[in-house]
Amino acid sequence: MKSRSSLVIAVGAILVASPALAQTSRPATKPAAATNAWGEQAHVNAPLGKIRRFPGDGKGAYATGRYRNLFVEQLGKTEAETHAKIEQAFDRFFHGDGQEERVYFETGANANGTLAYVTDWANNDARSEGKSYGMMLAVQLGRKCEFDALWNWSKTHMQVTDPANPSFGYFAWSMSTDGTPRSIGAAPDGEEFYAMALYFAANRWGNGAGIYDYKAEADNILTAMRHRAAMTGSPPFRIHPDGPALVQPSAPWPSPNNRTAAAEAAKKGERWPPAWYATARQAAPVTAGPMVEESHNMVRFVPETNINTTDASYHLPHFYELWSRWGPAADRAFWAKAADVSRDLFVKVVGPKTALSPERSNFDGSPVIGRDGKPVEFGYDSWRTVSSWSVDWAWFGKDARQRELSDRNQRFLSSQGIKTFADRYTLDGQPLSDRHSAGMVAAAAVGGFAATPGPVSKAFLQELWDMPVPTGEQRYFDGMLYLMSMMHAGGEFRIVQPAQR
């Protein structure tokens, strides 16, 4: 859940209270066996015995312990050059100039130590996505102080502790930077990265006490994602029993740093805020359940039960493989199957010519129809999907179809102009934007892990290497994807193994 405009903040805030939004997705139905681009049946919601199985440890870094540095392989850079570039970017994002560079801000302390958040500078909020990404970057680079401060802020401010709130136990996906709520709903991509970062922290630093018993906290997140009971409540909701109620503004949340949204609307001759905003703010009861759809073995777009869709960019089979080994024992078979289901879903939902994924799809892989009556297309969430299947290939190397997906994706974007391609498209390749975004370029370059080595893959890596570190208004999402992509491509985003495997 992220965007270049404060509109998404507004949508996220009303998502859990708007029955109108339930109309944006069709109820999942049992599909006939679908044929994918290889002429195979893609059984994305079939019984365990019908899912394409990828047993064992594969042939990637999990099995070999070797992490490829694509900059060394294809651009002739050195390990030292790569590491220096990554460290410089981390220092700018976490400790650089507060107005133009930094997204990490410390804000006092409590009994558990320092508190810090990562902010979406343009939208003036802190998100579970960004907090968990920040923790992942910190644990990968051995920055324990930053890791603990981000986790402390997340536990203190973002985790819902009011039992009257149907999102009880989850992390609110968007908060003001002063710790007051903008949303009481949760976004599963945040929970997924929290859990994985915490397991890595346990393996790197060992477990502490309280909230710093990293493995126990990760186990709790995964258990809640699958087993938390459905809960119903009526607004107004609170994050904490003694905290302020979420009060929806009559217009999108004020964001003094974002100059993009209103300008884009004016350019298109559209109203800002959109006309539907006020009517969508309804005080209807909300029911939220698990973050996974049990019958399909896949992550949901949101845990609210009236929105029955998934988001391909939330599917992280390389994480699921690790959870099937390290997570709560009762759920390991579930996550093993989820990894295979996700691999099949990637194949099914992407465009046949472009390998671009939609921001949302139904659990059977069919399109979701949006508010405008058209299928949901490739958007900002979707930038991440190529990275997901490519890192899965790098870490586990189980699904050879991922090479064709990356080749198709990079070939299409290259044909659009590697320095000019749009950041939103229809799945068949019609541009929906006139912007070219650094974060999308960076994520596409990670496709080089699975792609066939050659001029196209090399061109994306060169573009990533030459890219200036994102600064200014849009530095949050572009910057996070830039730094993670640099670490992936540079072989410094790794599985942090337990002391005894």
Residues labelled as active-site residues: 129, 381
SS3 label, residue 238: strand
What does each C-alpha distance from 145 to 156, 158, 237, 283, 484 come to in angstroms? 16, 19, 32, 41, 19
Task: Point out which residues pair with 127 in neighbouring strands.
Answer: 174
Q: What is the DSSP string of 209-225?
A: SGGG-HHHHHHHHHHHH
Q: What is the DSSP string of 373-426?
A: SSB--B-TGGGGHHHHHHHHHHHT---THHHHHHHHHHHHHHHT-TTT--S-B-
Q: State the CB neighbour count (10 A cutoff) for residue 140.
A: 22
Q: Could you give the count of Cα atoms lying within 13 Å of 3 in the half-sphere of its Cβ?
A: 19
Between CA 34 and CA 422 the distance in angstroms is 30
Q: State the CB neighbour count (10 A cutoff) for residue 121.
A: 24
DSSP 156: I
Beta strands in 221-376 (DSSP E): 231-233, 286-288, 292-293, 298-299
Look up residue 243 and give its two tokens.
């905290």
C-beta of residue 139 within 8 angstroms of C-beta of residue 97: no
Q: CA nearest 299: which of 284, 312, 286?
A: 312
3-state secondary structure 4-40: CCCHHHHHHHHHCCCHHHHHHCCCCCCCCCCECCCCC
